Structure 1
Amino acid sequence: MVTTLHEQALFAGGPIWGGRHRLTAGVEPHTHDFLEIAIVGPGGGRHVTSGGERPLRHGDAIVVRPGAWHAFRDCADLTVANCCLSERALRAELYQLPALRRLLWTDPVASGARGVAVRSIDPADADEAIAQIELLERDLESGRRPGRTLGRLITVLGILTDGTDRDGPEDAGLEAAVHPAVAATIARLEAAPSAPWRLDELADAVNLDPAYLGRLFRQYLGLSPLGFLARVRAERAASLLVNSALPVARIGASVGWDDPTYFARRFRSLVGLTPTEYRRRNRSGPAAR
């Protein structure tokens, strides 16, 4: 049974949240309408997603996009620190920082990732990030240090991006400043995901050849413009499935997938559950953090 964490309850009106936990048992499958970064410290356990399960290691950093689900199983004195970003924070200036683009967007939205990506950093770096999240949690509880909490967040993200080995031209390209045409197209897709976008229309809007715009998107995001649009639609649909009583078919139409059968197929390919399964499993009462 998948439960749901909601931004409104967890964030208390702010853009970020963080906390450290010691797990002595499993954490049931859960999803959220915000982005979660889980950093693994000492201890044992397994991580479960729609793609299967794997043993957890000290230094794992798990990024879970809105709408995706995951769980922890067979935990034995496992330290996990969570750093969470609201939709408002996720869709603001952070995308423009090249070092964060791969961490928060490219890897978890890539084809086959289903909204979850795992990278490994040095255990000492993971411990440093966990310590910063503990301080972030303390600052948030005080409610009087917005500048300091932002600094903690940037430090944690910096540790994660610095701690990943990168080599090769593909990685170098991902670290370049985002191309203006890509940024403009992303803004256009996020502003109106239900519109019947075609690649040639998107390319015309930024005065580029469609094939060239597609190559730029793959360089910066690892997927095509329409592949990115599908991920945005799936995340919006996931939120509506949990937070509204709208019929499933109407939710599909509201995000741009008018055919219920096609909506079910695309949503399952991106999230790992059909829309009906996702709604049923996410309506199970209060979620555990």
Structure 2
Amino acid sequence: MPATLHEHALFAGSPVLAGVHHVDLDLEPHAHDFLEIAVIGSGKGRHVTSQGEHPLRRGQVIVLRPGAWHGFLDCTDLTVANCCLSAHALRAELAALYDIPMLRRTLWTDPVASGTHGVAITTVDPAAAEEAITEISLLERDLGADQGRPGRVLGRLITVLGILADGRDPERETPESAIHPAVAATIARLEAAPADPWRLDDLARAVNLDPAYLGRLFGRYVGLTPLGFLARLRAERAATLLAHSTLPAARVGAAVGWDDPTYFARRFRTLVGLTPTEYRRRSRSTAHAQLSTPAESTDERRRSRRLPPLSTT
């Protein structure tokens, strides 16, 4: 079962976290409450998700939404470069990334698609992967500088994301345009109040569109129906509450809009791949492990093998 890695314990107030790791050990399956991008370089290993185990290949790019989980097994000199984005920042200072079509697909559309459990895996050519790994290493350096470099960090982040977006196989890609205003407005409405009892008719009426047409627009720009997007949003918010609060699971479900505890448990497991109880149990065990080593600084925890690979992982 996955452990859970927490945004507040790793980011130290920064919207971005980055690191390049050379892994020779198994990295136990774990979840986290932030967005992670893992670029695979040289070496060998197997990747574990709710969809099973698969060999890792150079050039693979793994994107995990908050609440998703994965692990690495049988690693031999495996290079994994991580670039992690705070979930809070994705709704605040990094929200503009959603307006860039190629980044919207990388960070939102593909990993929130139905049946993915919040995990998307694509492949870029090896040269693009090496370039991205180099930039992530430089991003790690900028983040560790004595003086804050927010402008340089943001620029480096955009460069990494651009390399990965450009490196995707063009024959398998479809052109995307700027997000439709009605879709953007509906997403903003859902994110502002995910616990409200939204109905498709109400959402469509708010943007003066036919419900069926709004559904088609969401399928085009988001890859889900409006209510499917709402379910993913609720699952991600529930994952954060399970990790950081003592609310009973039933109250967590009610807090995000799923009042029926049985229905909440079923939907959460469908979307995340774990029951709420399993997710919280692993969250608590990881938090205890972090608190049991008070001599470690935040930077040391970031560099340690037990936490980083996969979520700095």
Range class of TM-score, shorter chain: over 0.9
Q: How does 1:122-133 map to 2 (within 5 A)?
A: 122-133=125-136
Is residue 36–residue 84 contact of structure 1 (8 Å, CA) maintained in 2?
Answer: yes
> What is the root-mean-square deviation of aligned Cα atoms in Å?
1.2
Match for residue 213 of structure 1? Answer: 214
* Aligned partners of 2:269 and 2:276 also within 8 Å: yes
- 1:88 and 1:234 map into 2 onto residues whose CA distance is 15
Retained in 1: the 8 A contact 2:5–2:283?
no
The alignment's TM-score, normalised by the length of structure 1, stands at: 0.96
Deviation at 1:90, TM superposition (A): 1.8
Q: Provide the C-alpha distance between the structure 1 equivalents of 2:7 and 2:190, rounded to a whole number of angstroms.
A: 23
Task: Provide the residue aligned with 1:164 in structure 2.
Answer: 168
1:200-222 CA-partner distances (Å, limit 9, x unpaired): 00000000000000000000011
Deviates more, 1:151-160 or 1:277-286: 277-286
Matched residue, 2:103:
100
Q: 2:118 matched to 1:115?
A: yes
The Cα shift of 1:3 comes to: 2.0
Instruction: Report the Cα distance in structure 1 between the residues aligned to 2:258 and 2:201, rounded to whole angstroms.
Output: 19
Aligned: 1:248 with 2:240 = no
Aligned length: 286
Do the aligned partners of 1:29 and 1:69 also contact (CA within 8 Å) in 2?
Answer: yes
Question: Are 1:139 and 1:145, in contact at CA under 8 Å, matched by a contact in 2?
Answer: yes
Q: Which moved more, 1:83-92 or 1:263-272?
A: 83-92
Matching residue of 2:138: 135
- 2-structure distance, mates of 1:171, 1:178: 14
Secondary structure of the corresponding residue to residue 109 of structure 2: helix
Residue aligning to 1:74 = 74
- CA–CA distance in 2 between the matches of 1:78 and 1:93? 33
Match for residue 153 of structure 2? 149
Q: Does structure 1 conserve the Cα–Cα contact (< 8 Å) formed by 2:36 and 2:63?
A: yes
Contact 2:234 2:257 in 1 (8 A): yes
Structure 2: which 5+ residue stretches go unaligned? 291-305, 309-313
Deviation at 1:184, TM superposition (A): 0.4
**Deviation of 1:50 (Å):** 1.3
**TM-score w.r.t. length of structure 2:** 0.89
Q: Distance in 1 between matches of 2:219 and 2:268?
A: 21
| Residues 1:56 and 2:56 are matched in the alignment | yes
- For 2:105 and 2:150, how far apart are their aligned partners in 1? 26
Paired with 1:105 and 1:166, the residues of 2 have a C-alpha distance of 19
Q: State how 1:4-15 maps to structure 2 within 5 Å.
A: 4-15=4-15
| Runs of at least 5 residues in structure 1 that lack an aligned partner in the other structure | none
Shift of 1:89: 2.7
- In the TM superposition, 1:17-36 aligns within 5 A as 17-36=17-36
* Other-structure match for 2:2: 2
> Structure 1: how far apart are the matches of 2:280 and 2:8?
19
Q: Which amino acid aligns with 2:99?
A: Q
- Check the 8 A contact 2:4/2:279 in 1, yes or no: no
The 2-side partners of 1:7 and 1:56 are apart by 26
Single out whichever of 221-230 and 81-90 deviates more from structure 2: 81-90
Find the aligned partners of 1:248 and 1:5 in 2 and give their Cα distance: 19
